[in-house]
Structure formats: C-alpha cells, structure tokens
Chain A
Amino acid sequence: RKEVEQDPGPFNVPEGATVAFNCTYSNSASQSFFWYRQDCRKEPKLLMSVYSSGNEDGRFTAQLNRASQYISLLIRDSKLSDSATYLCVVDGGGGFKTIFGAGTRLFVKA
C-alpha cells in the first residue's frame, strides 16, 4: 500500500460545479497535512494546510478524518482557473519526512 494515495482522475467538471478530492494515508502517526496545487510545467504551490478542526479558505474547504486516515478537499463554484493537479501531502510521522501523493488532475470546462 502506498503511503499516500489519491485518485489520479482526471476530474472533468463544468464551471460552477462542486468537486471533492479524497486522499488516504497509511501512517497513523502523521500529524501535518497539506494540499498543494501544481499547474502544468510549474512548481507546486501550497494551497492550504489541513487542521483537525477542518478549515476553509474562500471556495476551498479541507477536512481531516484521523479515524479513517483520509483528508479531503472540496472546491465550490469551480472556476476555469482551478484546472490543475492537486497534491495531497502528509508528514511521515516523525523525522520531518514529507510524503507527496501522485496528484489528482482537475479540468474545469466552460
């Protein structure tokens, strides 16, 4: 089993749609969780951290479920500019190792 797993997609959604991504992790000792966004031929950029209580930033909501060991990202009112690959990132449970998922591709169409 991979340490961090994501559905590779692609997710093809129309503008204005709500889309959700899930990510599962295998190490129950992991404490820090993030979502990154990577545009084609660009570097990943931190989108948001994921806290135990969940957090929201505009149209983006991140949730953490420790019992089931997954995190989610919800995007509401999708924009064309949301088209990108979304990377789930989890710490390795100590030693400051960071593990990236392979990413989920999102295409938002007009």
Chain B
Amino acid sequence: GAVVSQHPSWVICKSGTSVKIECRSLDFQATTMFWYRQFPKQSLMLMATSNEGSKATYEQGVEKDKFLINHASLTLSTLTVTSAHPEDSSFYICSARRAQSYEQYFGPGTRLTVT
C-alpha cells in the first residue's frame, strides 16, 4: 500500500498565530514530499517540494518565511503557517513519493480556517 496521513484534518486559529500541519507516509519511505494548497473550486497549487534532509524548494510567489517546511525524516514532513491571516484559509494537502517513482500519494488534507 501507499498510505499518507495528515494531521490535523481541520484547524481553526486566530489571526497572527502559527499552525503546524504534519504529513506522514505510513507504509513507505518518502524521499520527496509536496505541499499543495487548494482554494474552493480552484485547482491544486503546488507550494513547495521537499526532499528528506534538505531545504525545501518553493514555487514562485510562495513566501518561504511564512510557510516553513521541514522534512526531517523519510516518513515525516511538516508545514508551519506562521502568523496566519484570513487569506491563508485554504485546504492544504501533502503528497509523498518514493525514490525513483513519479507516482504521488496524497494525504487527506487539512482544512485551515483563520479567523
């Protein structure tokens, strides 16, 4: 199998606070993990790509100091939304990929609401 979990599944936080989202590959080693954001009725937007043990590569327009990504092990990556604002409210989805493979397996997503 190829199961990816995400935690939390939803979170409500106040403006100005930080939120950490965890992404875990449960039954395989993920050399690469991806973080996406999806606004209602829009397509997936890749935010960043992270390889285990190295710094994440951010897509154009994504602030690396605001969206902190850590991929410390082959089964865990975290995304921290720092100083969250209402416009950061979105569906955040991670995916994981094995070495030498293009197939991505997605976590169930985290719905973030910033009030």
Interface, chain A (partner B; CB < 8 A): 32, 34, 41-46, 49, 87, 89, 91, 96-98, 100-103
Contact = CB atoms under 8 A, between A and B. Distances in A.
B108 A96 contact: no
Interface residues of B, number: 18
Contacts of A34: 102-103
Contact of B109 (A43, A89, A97, A98): A43
Given A102-B43, A103-B43, A43 B102 contact: no
Contacts of B97: 96, 98
A42 B103 contact: no
Main secondary structure of the interface of B (DSSP, over half): strand
Interface string B26-64: 000000101000000001101001000000000000000
B32 A96 contact: yes
Given A34-B103, A49-B103, A96-B32, A42 B108 contact: yes
Contacts of A42: 108-109
A41 B9 CA distance: 12
Given A45-B106, A87-B44, 17 more contacts: A41-B91, A43-B106, A44-B95, A46-B103, A46-B104, A46-B105, A87-B43, A89-B104, A91-B102, A97-B49, A98-B34, A98-B97, A98-B102, A98-B104, A100-B44, A100-B46, A101-B43
